[in-house]
Structure 1
Amino acid sequence: MAVDMHKTCYGEYCGKPVLALNGTTEIYGDCGVCPRGQTIDHSKICRECSESPQLYDWLYLGFMAMLPLILHWFFIEWYSGKKSSSALFQHITALFECTVAALTTLLVNEPIGYLQLNSCRVKKLSDWYTMLYNPSPDYVKTLHCTHEAVYPLYTIVFIYYSFSLVLMMILRPLLIKKIACGLGKSDRFKSIYAALYFFPILTVIQAVGGGLLYYAFPYIILVLSLITLAVYMSASEIESFKDLLVRKKRLVVLFSHWVIHAYGIISISRVDQFEKDLPLLALVPGPTLFYLLTAKFTDPSRIRLEEGSGH
């Protein structure tokens, strides 16, 4: 039903859908929820999300795509142990699963069939939680205007997790059954069981804290990369550059942390003034160098020896 376009539209996220176009005149519907793929403009009219995501949006999606992959790799390594020769194949399979899931997710979203996305710009944190801003004009009846104002940054993550889970359930059991000869029968599928736990957890985190993650993920990356690097080097008893060169796997882990750390720095800069922020990438090896230079002073055996000599 057509309404007067000047009639008040209650609520911060309620809008009037465009029902028809009569020449140059638009005919609007009742004020309410915008269809999926649309959000309100400054005049409270529902408009198609036709912009391309900003680089920061892509970096956010990349972070959400990396989370399952990193967790896959962690649990594969955790449960494979030193006796298994299948860990490398499982790592490659997990990478293949997440890559195919990401590409498929892009292809099934608008524009369908292209590795592109149509999106609406994120303006503020409340855009992620439109369900909290449903108005009650008469304080009795609530006008439900919940829609994805950050289309498709909220729902695309759930689609990606779904594809990742399906591909894992199809590919990983077949691979493990054939090549995981170094593991006992009860241990072969533990990395898959772990994924069946962390996928629901990631889904809940995205559902509840998607907007918070959008603004905080660069800092989360930096903090976690520093903590995990320190824990890994400590657990591997790496105290010098020579210890790093003993095994190629240690160098792979080190460079992986450096890449993730650089990813966090680039995300923080948002590439607004990337040329000025580019020198910050020189700080990426800093935590590793600091650890190697100070590790000998914090070695527990050395500290106990000095305490003993003091007495």
Structure 2
Amino acid sequence: MYTSLERCPGTYCGRTLLDNNGTWSECGSCARGSRVNEYFACAECQDELPLYSWLYLGFMTMLPFMLHCFFIDLDAKDRKFSRKQLTLTACALFEVIISALLSVLVMEPQWEFRLHSCHVRKFNDWYTLFYNPNPNYQQRLYCTQEAVYPLQTIVLVFYFMCLVTMFMIRPIIVSIMKIRGRTPIYSALYFLPLLTFIHALGGGLIYFSFPYLSIAIAMISNAIHYSLKLDQSYKALIRSSFELKNLVIIASHWILLAYGIVSLGHHTALLAFVPFPSVFYILTVRCTDPAEFREVENRVN
């Protein structure tokens, strides 16, 4: 059936079957949920989503939750977990989980916890807008489409769901528990659109680099967490690590680091290095503490 089709210009232009009589459309963009195949025909995306793509979606799911936690903690300014922090953090986690589940359910196949997809073959698949052909340098043929279905739209739907669930759940919980939680909500009104903008522009870059981003974010945030401690001695850092709030923060860093290592697909033995950034900071803090250099400078003077 496909062998009689003429070649379409460009990489992403294809023909759509119009009826059962074998009538095909002119070359153009494929409908949502389909992609041009090797015969230049638009074929539905029926492949199961690969593990790497699921891990990518998991990373995109963690981003709003981590930002929620950051702004909740920033607003609290308490050394220990307060009732307000625990409530708002649990609420944010519930909102993100509900949004993620709803996002999967509304995509094809609908109301099932699985996704039909078109596999990502190369980096260009994320930016079909820049590959609209211009046959014979005359009229441009617009074939922009979601060649990586559903990895672009499902993330956008997820961020929208996060906004909706936050407005539906957070005010009710805040009023029932009688706590102040407006500032984290206002912060989300900024970072959720920002995440949407970043995904729309750099979704392909994030897709191919999120394991490294996970590792980098975990290591940098771990170093920042320890550097904010006033007492930089060994005993103080170790003692503070076992406080409930710090223990949760450090555990989240370790989980994110382990997530990045698993996403790289290397040997699972590398997971043994997950505690290494924390241990390395505690062991080497005396070599980097500015107080040590000030003492040496005072002795010289």
* Coarse TM-score class (shorter-chain normalised): over 0.9
Aligned residue identity for 1:307: E
What 5-or-longer segments of structure 2 have no aligned partner? none
Structure-2 separation of matches of 1:193 and 1:65: 20
Structure-1 separation of matches of 2:38 and 2:5: 13
Q: Is the 8 A contact 1:5 1:28 kept in 2?
A: no
What 5-or-longer segments of structure 1 have no aligned partner? none
Q: Deviation per CA, 1:105-139, whole angstroms, max 9, x where unpaired?
A: 11111110101000000000110111111112242
Q: Deviation per CA, 1:144-179, whole angstroms, max 9, x where unpaired?
A: 111110000011100000111001011112222343
Answer with 293-302 or 54-63: which moved more. Answer: 293-302
Show the 5 A alignment for 1:253-272: 253-269=249-265
Structure-1 separation of matches of 2:287 and 2:177: 43
* CA deviation after TM superposition for structure 1 residue 180, in Å: 5.1
Show the 5 A alignment for 1:226-245: 226-237=219-230, 239-240=233-234, 242-245=238-241
* CA deviation after TM superposition for structure 1 residue 4, in Å: 9.2
* CA deviation after TM superposition for structure 1 residue 91, in Å: 0.1
Structure-1 separation of matches of 2:182 and 2:101: 26
* 2:34 maps to 1:35: no
Q: Is the 8 A contact 1:38 1:48 kept in 2?
A: yes
Aligned residues: 296
Structure-2 separation of matches of 1:103 and 1:287: 33
Q: Is the 8 A contact 1:85 1:180 kept in 2?
A: no
Q: Relative to structure 1, is the Cα distance of residues 257 and 4 closer, same or farther in structure 2, using a 3 angstrom cutoff?
A: closer
Map of 1:72 onto structure 2: 68
Map of 2:11 onto structure 1: 12
Structure-1 separation of matches of 2:271 and 2:3: 55
Structure-2 separation of matches of 1:246 and 1:53: 39
* 2:284 maps to 1:294: yes
* CA deviation after TM superposition for structure 1 residue 260, in Å: 0.3
Q: Is the 8 A contact 2:61 2:96 kept in 1?
A: yes
Answer with 155-164 or 301-310: which moved more. Answer: 301-310
Show the 5 A alignment for 1:1-311: 5-21=4-20, 26-82=22-78, 85-179=83-177, 181=179, 188-237=181-230, 239-240=233-234, 242-269=238-265, 274=266, 277-311=267-301
Q: Is the 8 A contact 2:5 2:39 kept in 1?
A: no
Aligned residue identity for 1:260: L
Structure-2 separation of matches of 1:30 and 1:148: 19
Q: Is the 8 A contact 1:136 1:143 kept in 2?
A: yes
Structure-2 separation of matches of 1:239 and 1:43: 67
Aligned residue identity for 2:170: R
How much is the aligned-residue C-alpha RMSD, in angstroms? 2.0
Match of 1:28, SS state, is coil
Q: Identity, % of aligned pairs?
A: 42
Structure-2 separation of matches of 1:56 and 1:4: 33
Aligned residue identity for 2:140: T
| Structure 1 segments of 4+ aligned residues over 4 angstroms from their partners | none
* CA deviation after TM superposition for structure 1 residue 12, in Å: 0.8
* CA deviation after TM superposition for structure 1 residue 27, in Å: 4.0
Match of 1:162, SS state, is helix
Q: Is the 8 A contact 2:28 2:141 kept in 1?
A: yes
TM-score w.r.t. the length of structure 1 is 0.89
Q: Is the 8 A contact 2:13 2:27 kept in 1?
A: yes
Match of 2:35, SS state, is strand
Q: Relative to structure 1, is the Cα distance of residues 168 and 174 closer, same or farther in structure 2, using a 3 angstrom cutoff?
A: same
Structure-2 separation of matches of 1:242 and 1:35: 57
Aligned residue identity for 1:294: T
Match of 1:86, SS state, is helix
Aligned residue identity for 1:227: I
Structure-2 separation of matches of 1:53 and 1:260: 22
Q: Relative to structure 1, is the Cα distance of residues 293 and 4 closer, same or farther in structure 2, using a 3 angstrom cutoff?
A: closer
